[in-house]
């Protein structure tokens, strides 16, 4: 599904694009948005056009010189931008972090800390393979760096390469807090056919003895595991606890919103998502919630989402492919287009939610063979997820 | 499909309220139109990026007002002239175009407000290949990309600028409509001459045009006039029918699977040929020509679909292709007509050419039918 035509010539070649209503509408939307994107002169001089987030102010040459010359300033600044990107979902911050690291990346001998931060940026953009390359470079220089092993385990886990992820967790056991190593290992084992025992092992970890950042991670794992075990009550309990501890945790909020939407509790989901609408994954849940409520209020969310997906599509950004597939399936009700997006997404990442969207769109599009790669993956890995059961048995 | 919602969404997408924004990576929007030696268009840069690039928050209150932005317009124009350049490429050489910006306005997009700057770039020579250097936000945000929409004549191209490749070249040579007409006219003629199935169908209908059916026997027409009228009717009916379906299919209004049309085209030849041996329809062969002509039109359309219609010259190319088909067809009719008219009185024509010629055509078409309808692929 590419709407781009890079080259036009007298004979544009075989063009057998099946006309899909969605694309017709999208083309229409593009046409309209270019036709009616009318620039204007604001009526008042004092009209505010933008609020600057922290760290987005113009930096003069001297301060840029400073980050280019002083690693002790560049590293925390890049780290700051990455954490802003995490907290706000604003991808601009990843670009700012990259700009701070750029002079350090171009040096003949790149410092491992720079590589790890760069790997984190790539991971946040879902450039997983590129991220692994940077991590392996960093680990060659610093084989006992806990952060590198943890990021590596996370990336491999998202890619569905569980055995390798487990190996990374083993390295962590030497270098990091034992609770973190256990979390790492058990969360991967929970995807390898040992969900019940992994769930028990993580539940048995005492939060008091954990570093604070690991506590939220524990709740997040427990919540998602309980959901996969079909214990929605427990899942809700863990996610609520976790969000009370770490309200800014993006993944937990999404997981809780999905749980509520699955139980048709759209009003509660909207409450949970209020104030987070500028993040596309959150906004997607808002649109789905309004659809469930049939209150006709989803129009603005849907317009924003389709414009944002359109720009990302033009840029070839992959970061929201899963959301795009779900948008096409649950909001736009275009099963064939959703399946195409879910298949594209499957090339990028293989988390339980990616399996779910692929199976659901294959079923909705009546394309059973399209589900085969996901079913094969479930078979090989032994991954258990109660949410997949209806689609698993049907095919 | 919930079309009304999409339309509403599309209409809304031109005015996002200040409260509702999505986060997307930094993007600039570059629109350029090339006409002769002039490039005109607009560039849009997010207000946040304007601040990052040139610093417009004069009172440092972390809010950018319209006043602050418009005061910063000269700095922005200066910044952009250092990070955006157009060149008219001629062979390997690029000649710089003189870029100037006009008064700034504001545009609201999905992720916030943008500074919108119209520009003109005057090149020293007519642009055939346009070079664009785009390094906006370089060093400040490596993930920034420029989303280009480039129009030349009626040809629209889109591309992503920036990142590792700061320079890109675009061919903006728009095929002239006359060139498109000539190309597609040739393609039409060539198709009818090389596509033997359409010719055989026509021939099957032409063979009996110089004869009359009388008491179960074929008799030669006494004069040219009825033969000419008969041929005129058949050819006109065939032309009208296939022009109609060719147009509908080429404009994507109607579409049939090609395997089906190809099979029915083969069947139509069998029917027309057998009708010469065992005549059922003798008076109104024009109706057969019309009915099957509709299907032959779909056959022509699939050829055209493989070629594609050029952007900006769709209708003229479609017309040219059709006129080419007619021309090729008329050439065949004009070549065949005198021969069969001369031969019509002889027994050879009525006893050999009519039955055995038609039988051979039917047999060949039967082979095609089996190939197209039964064999896989």
CATH number, domain of A110, equals: 1.25.40.10
Question: Using CA atoms, how far apart are residues B131 and B169, in angstroms rounded to an integer?
Answer: 4
With b meaning 16 or more CB within 10 Å and e meaning fewer, what string describes A265-287? Answer: bbeebbebbeebbbbbbbbbbbb
Degrees, nearest 5: CA angle B69-B72-B75 = 145
Which among A28, A45, A278 has the least Cβ separation from residue B66? A45
Residues of B in contact with A22 (CB under 8 A): 1, 6
Domain extent at residue A99: 67-176
| B7/A28 touch (CB, cutoff 8 Å), yes or no | yes
A192 φ, ψ to 5°?
Answer: -115, 35
Which among B3, B14, B143 has the least Cβ separation from residue A95? B143
Q: Which of A130-144, A312-326, B51-65, B167-181 has the lowest mean pLDDT?
A: B167-181
For residue A341, tell me if it sits in a domain: yes
Can you give the pLDDT at residue B353? 86
**Contacts of residue B371, Cβ cutoff 8 Å, sequence gap at least 6:** none
Question: Using CA atoms, how far apart are residues A145 and A41, in angstroms rounded to an integer?
Answer: 54
Residue B312: pLDDT band with limits 50, 70, 90 = low
Give me the residues of A, 298-337, that contact B with CB < 8 A: 299-300, 302-308, 311-312, 314-317, 332-334
Domain segments of chain B as ranges: 21-171, 177-374
Q: Does A61 touch chain B (CB under 8 A)?
A: no
Interface test with A, best of B7, B15, B23, B174 (most A CBs within 10 A): B23
Q: What is the dihedral of CA B101, B104, B105, B111, to 10 degrees?
A: 80
| A39/B5 touch (CB, cutoff 8 Å), yes or no | no
**Which of A154, A176, A198 delimits the end of a domain?**
A176
Question: Using CA atoms, how far apart are residues A186 and A320, in angstroms rounded to an integer?
Answer: 27
Degrees, nearest 5: CA angle A19-A22-A24 = 55
Q: Which residue of A has its CA nearest to B54?
A: A58
**How high is the mean pLDDT of chain B?**
84
Say what percent of chain B tops pLDDT 70: 89
For residue A377, tell me if it sits in a domain: yes
Q: Does A5 touch chain B (CB under 8 A)?
A: yes
Say yes or no to pLDDT of B180 above 90.
no
Nearest to A250 by CA among A230, A225, A229, A278: A278
Can you give the pLDDT at residue A137? 96
Nearest to B162 by CA among B142, B184, B183: B142
Question: Using CA atoms, how far apart are residues A98 and A223, in angstroms rounded to an integer?
Answer: 33
Q: How far is A15 from chain B (nearest CA, A)?
A: 7
Which among B25, B66, B311 has the least Cβ separation from residue A8? B311
For residue A42, tell me if it sits in a domain: no
In contact, B150 and B157? CB cutoff 8 Å: yes
With b meaning 16 or more CB within 10 Å and e meaning fewer, what string describes B235-263? Answer: bebbbebbbebbbbbbeeeeebebeebbb
**Contacts of residue B370, Cβ cutoff 8 Å, sequence gap at least 6:** none
Question: Using CA atoms, how far apart are residues A176 and A210, in angstroms rounded to an integer?
Answer: 11
Q: Does A32 touch chain B (CB under 8 A)?
A: yes
For residue A62, tell me if it sits in a domain: no
For residue A130, tell me if it sits in a domain: yes
Question: Using CA atoms, how far apart are residues A18 and B210, in angstroms rounded to an integer?
Answer: 47
Q: How far is B159 from chain A (nearest CA, A)?
A: 6
Tokens coding A316 = 């070839």
Which among B62, B69, B141 has the least Cβ separation from residue A51? B62
Residues of A in contact with B134 (CB under 8 A): none
Q: How far is A18 from chain B (nearest CA, A)?
A: 10
**Which of A118, A150, A176 delimits the end of a domain?**
A176
Low-confidence ranges of chain A (pLDDT < 50): 1-36
Residues of A in contact with B42 (CB under 8 A): 39
Q: Does A294 touch chain B (CB under 8 A)?
A: no
In contact, B322 and B243? CB cutoff 8 Å: yes
SS3 letters for chain A? Answer: CCCCCCCCCCCCCCCCCCCCHHHHHHHHHHHHHHHHCCCECCCCCCCEEEECCCCCCCCCHHHHHHHHHCHHHHHHHHHHHHHHHHHHCCCHHHHHHHHHHHHHHCCCCCCHHHHHHHHHHHHHCCCHHHHHHHHHHHHHHCCCCHHHHHHHHHHHHHCCCHHHHHHHHHHHHHHCCHHHHHHHHHHHHCCCCCHHHHHHHHHHCCHHHCCHHHHHHHHHHHHHHHHHCCCHHHHHHHHHHHHHHCCCCHHHHHHHHHHHHHCCCHHHHHHHHCCCCCCHHHHHHHHHHHHHHCCCCCHHHHHHHHHHHHHHHHHCCCCCHHHHHHHHHHHCCCHHHHHHHHHHHHHHCCCHHHHHHHHHHHHHCCCHHHHHHHHHHHHHHCCCCHHHHHHHHHC
For residue A76, tell me if it sits in a domain: yes
A317-327: pLDDT as tens digits: 888 999 999 99
| B105/A94 touch (CB, cutoff 8 Å), yes or no | no
Tokens 């930096």 identify what position?
Answer: A59
Tokens coding B118 = 């119209």
Which among B8, B22, B160 has the least Cβ separation from residue A304? B22
ipTM above 0.85, yes or no: no
| B142/A95 touch (CB, cutoff 8 Å), yes or no | yes
Say yes or no to pLDDT of B298 above 90.
no
Residues of B in contact with A316 (CB under 8 A): 160
Nearest to A298 by CA among A286, A309, A280, A281: A286
Nearest to A124 by CA among A161, A77, A167, A92: A92
Can you give the pLDDT at residue A22? 44
How far are the Cα atoms of A199, A242, A246 from residue A213, in angstroms, in the given order? Answer: 19, 11, 9
How far are the Cα atoms of A374, B28, B38, B161, B315 from residue B141, in angstroms, in the given order? Answer: 37, 12, 30, 14, 45
Can you give the pLDDT at residue B175? 57
Q: Is A244 exposed, middle or buried (0-12, 13-18, 19+ CB in 10 A)?
A: exposed
Provide the number of structural domains found in chain A: 2
In contact, B129 and B169? CB cutoff 8 Å: yes
| B8/A299 touch (CB, cutoff 8 Å), yes or no | yes
In angstroms, the first-to-last Cα distance of chain B is 33
Degrees, nearest 5: CA angle B20-B145-B174 = 110
For residue A297, tell me if it sits in a domain: no
Question: Using CA atoms, how far apart are residues B170 and B131, in angstroms rounded to an integer?
Answer: 6
For residue A186, tell me if it sits in a domain: no
B189-229: pLDDT as tens digits: 888 877 778 888 888 888 888 888 777 778 888 888 888 88
**Stretch B87-113: mean pLDDT, rounded?**
88
Which among A9, A98, A316 has the least Cβ separation from residue B142? A98
Q: How far is A167 from chain B (nearest CA, A)?
A: 32
Interface test with A, best of B3, B5, B7, B10 (most A CBs within 10 A): B10
Question: Using CA atoms, how far apart are residues A344 and B95, in angstroms rounded to an integer?
Answer: 41
* Other Cβ atoms within 10 Å of B375 Cβ, number: 7
Residues of A in contact with B105 (CB under 8 A): 39-41
Which among B9, B52, B175 has the least Cβ separation from residue A306? B9
Can you give the pLDDT at residue B195? 72
In contact, A174 and A139? CB cutoff 8 Å: no
**Contacts of residue A387, Cβ cutoff 8 Å, sequence gap at least 6:** A227, A228, A262, A352, A356
pTM (whole model) above 0.90: no
| A308/B22 touch (CB, cutoff 8 Å), yes or no | yes
Instruction: Classify residue A64 as left (phi > 0), alpha (psi -120 to 50) or beta.
Output: alpha
Which among A7, A40, A305 has the least Cβ separation from residue B105? A40
In contact, A259 and A239? CB cutoff 8 Å: yes
A154 φ, ψ to 5°?
Answer: -65, -45
Can you give the pLDDT at residue A56? 86
């Amino acid at each position: 599904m590419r709407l781009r035509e890079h080259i036009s010539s007298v004979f544009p070649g075989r063009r057998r694009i099946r006309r899909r209503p969605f694309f017709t509408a999208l083309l229409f939307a593009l046409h309209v948005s270019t036709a009616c994107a009318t620039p204007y002169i604001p009526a008042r001089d004092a009209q505010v056009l933008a609020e600057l987030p922290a760290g987005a102010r113009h930096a003069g040459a001297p301060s840029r010189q400073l980050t280019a010359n002083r690693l002790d300033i560049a590293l925390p600044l890049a780290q700051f931008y990455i954490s802003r990107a995490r907290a706000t979902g604003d991808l601009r911050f990843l670009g700012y972090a990259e700009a701070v690291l750029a002079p350090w990346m171009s040096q003949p001998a790149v410092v491992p800390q720079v590589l790890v931060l760069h790997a984190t940026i790539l991971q946040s953009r879902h450039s997983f393979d590129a991220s692994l390359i940077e991590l392996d470079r960093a680990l060659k220089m610093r084989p006992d760096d806990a952060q590198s092993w943890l990021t590596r385990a996370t990336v491999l886990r998202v890619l569905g390469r569980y055995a390798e992820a487990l190996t990374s967790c083993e390295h962590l056991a030497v270098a990091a807090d034992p609770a973190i190593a256990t979390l790492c290992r058990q969360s991967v084992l929970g995807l390898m056919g040992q969900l019940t025992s992994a769930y028990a092992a993580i539940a048995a970890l005492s939060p008091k003895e954990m570093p604070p950042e690991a506590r939220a991670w524990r709740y997040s794992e427990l919540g998602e595991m309980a959901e996969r075990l079909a214990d929605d009550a427990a899942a809700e309990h863990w996610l609520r606890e976790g969000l009370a501890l770490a309200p800014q945790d993006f993944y937990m909020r999404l997981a809780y919103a999905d749980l509520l939407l699955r139980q048709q509790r759209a009003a509660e989901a909207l409450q949970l998502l209020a104030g987070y609408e500028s993040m596309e994954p959150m906004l997607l849940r808002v649109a789905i919630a309004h659809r469930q409520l049939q209150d006709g209020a989803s129009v603005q969310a849907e317009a924003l989402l389709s414009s944002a997906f359109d720009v990302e599509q033009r840029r070839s950004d992959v970061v929201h492919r899963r959301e795009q597939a779900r948008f096409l399936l649950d909001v736009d009700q275009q099963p064939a287009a959703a399946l195409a997006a879910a298949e594209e997404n499957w090339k990028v990442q293989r988390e339980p939610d990616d399996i779910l969207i692929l199976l659901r769109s294959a079923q909705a599009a009546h394309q059973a063979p399209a589900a085969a790669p996901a079913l094969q993956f479930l078979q090989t890995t032994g991954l258990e997820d109660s949410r997949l059961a209806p689609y698993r048995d049907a095919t | 499909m919930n079309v009304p919602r999409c339309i509403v969404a599309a209409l809304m997408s031109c005015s996002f309220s200040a409260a509702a924004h999505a986060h997307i990576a930094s993007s600039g929007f570059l629109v350029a139109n090339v006409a002769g030696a002039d490039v005109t268009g607009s560039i849009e840069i997010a207000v946040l990026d304007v601040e990052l690039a040139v610093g417009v928050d004069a009172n440092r209150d972390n809010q950018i007002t319209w006043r602050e932005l418009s005061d910063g317009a000269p700095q922005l124009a200066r910044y952009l002239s250092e990070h955006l350049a157009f060149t008219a490429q001629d062979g390997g050489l690029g000649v710089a175009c003189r870029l100037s910006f006009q008064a700034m306005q504001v545009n609201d997009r999905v992720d916030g407000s943008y500074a919108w700057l119209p520009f003109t770039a005057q090149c020293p020579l007519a642009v055939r290949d346009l070079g664009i250097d785009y390094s906006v936000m370089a060093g400040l945000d490596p993930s920034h990309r420029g989303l280009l929409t480039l129009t030349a004549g009626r040809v629209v191209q889109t591309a992503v600028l920036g990142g590792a490749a700061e320079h890109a070249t675009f061919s903006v040579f728009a095929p002239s409509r006359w060139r498109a007409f000539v190309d597609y006219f040739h393609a039409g003629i060539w198709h009818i001459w090389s596509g033997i199935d359409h010719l055989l169908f026509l021939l099957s209908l032409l063979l009996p045009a110089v004869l009359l059916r009388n008491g179960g026997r074929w008799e030669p027409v006494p004069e040219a006039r009825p033969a000419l009228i008969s041929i005129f009717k058949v050819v006109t009916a065939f032309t009208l029918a296939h022009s109609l379906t060719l147009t509908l299919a080429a404009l994507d209004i109607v579409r049939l699977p090609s395997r089906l049309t190809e099979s029915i085209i083969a069947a139509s030849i069998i029917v027309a040929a057998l009708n010469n041996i065992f005549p059922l329809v003798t008076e109104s062969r024009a109706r057969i020509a019309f009915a099957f002509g509709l299907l032959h039109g779909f056959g022509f359309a699939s050829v055209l679909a493989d070629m594609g219609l050029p952007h900006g010259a769709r209708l003229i190319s479609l017309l040219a292709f059709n006129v080419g088909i007619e021309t090729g067809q008329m050439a065949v009719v004009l070549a065949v007509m005198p021969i069969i008219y001369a031969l019509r009185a002889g027994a050879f024509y009525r006893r050999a050419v009519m039955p055995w010629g038609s039988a051979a055509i039917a047999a060949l078409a039967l082979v095609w039918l089996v190939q197209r309808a039964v064999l896989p692929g």
